[in-house]
Amino acid sequence: MMGRKVVTMTVTMMRRVGIGLAMLAIVGGVVSLWRPALLWAKAWAAPVMIEHAWESATPGEPAPPPWPWADGRPVAVLSAPDLGIVRYVLDGASARVLAFGPARLSGAGPLKPTILFGHRDTHFRFLERIEPGTKLTYTGTDRLPRRYIVTRTRVADARTLRVPEDPDALVLVTCWPFESSAALTNERYVVTAWPAARVASPDLP
């Protein structure tokens, strides 16, 4: 009798384990489908919400966060008209902010250049199409468009990177090379642009 009970209990346990494994497989399948859907939804919704936050702001006033727990808010719009590019610039160049768009370096001050960072495989991918002479437009919270012309593109070491100490300069920075699969690199692709009115000036750095 004891032998039969042991066999019965063993079979019952095996059935339970089998059912449990099947349930785990089902849950795992649902999760594996849910995660890509969530990532897709975030990728689609975030730009829409960032644009809405920018458009809803009063000129001259800070835009509201695009969603309640957002780490950054839109502070400017960068465009390259000839390339059909429009990017909403967020404040604070942290990793979490850069996941949703190019970001402006915080704490630069009014006497420092405007420095923007962006990921090479997403929002700043278009930098590889930029060359000297490319026209850019940068519009801040005052909603006054400022027109720039690219004067230089270069590759530099992030550890020794220097940019013009001039408030008129607009500097765009991303990782380089563009096609690399390496997550970490010390090389940066740097685009420098100046106001159109200063490009022909002899005092341009």
In a domain, 73, yes or no: yes
Terminal-residue alpha carbon distance, the chain? 96
In a domain, 11, yes or no: no
In a domain, 205, yes or no: no
In a domain, 145, yes or no: yes
The larger pLDDT score, comparing residue 181 to residue 6, is at: 181
Question: Per the structure, how many domains does the chain have?
Answer: 1
Please tell me the predicted confidence (pLDDT) of residue 34.
Answer: 55
Please tell me the predicted confidence (pLDDT) of residue 204.
Answer: 76
Query: Which CATH number do you get for residue 129?
Result: 2.40.260.10
- In the chain, what is the greatest distance between 2 CA atoms, to the nearest angstrom? 103
The larger pLDDT score, comparing residue 192 to residue 15, is at: 192
In a domain, 100, yes or no: yes
Q: What is the pLDDT of residues 42-91, one digit of tens each?
A: 667 899 999 999 999 999 999 999 999 999 999 999 999 999 999 999 99
Domain encompassing residue 65: 57-198
SS3 30: helix
Please tell me the predicted confidence (pLDDT) of residue 182.
Answer: 76
**How many CA within 13 A on the CB side of residue 80?**
20
β-pair partners for 174: 189
In a domain, 116, yes or no: yes
State the chain's mean pLDDT as an integer.
Answer: 84
Residue with tokens 């649902």: 30
In a domain, 140, yes or no: yes
Quickly state the pLDDT bin for 20 (edges 50, 70, 90): very low
In a domain, 71, yes or no: yes
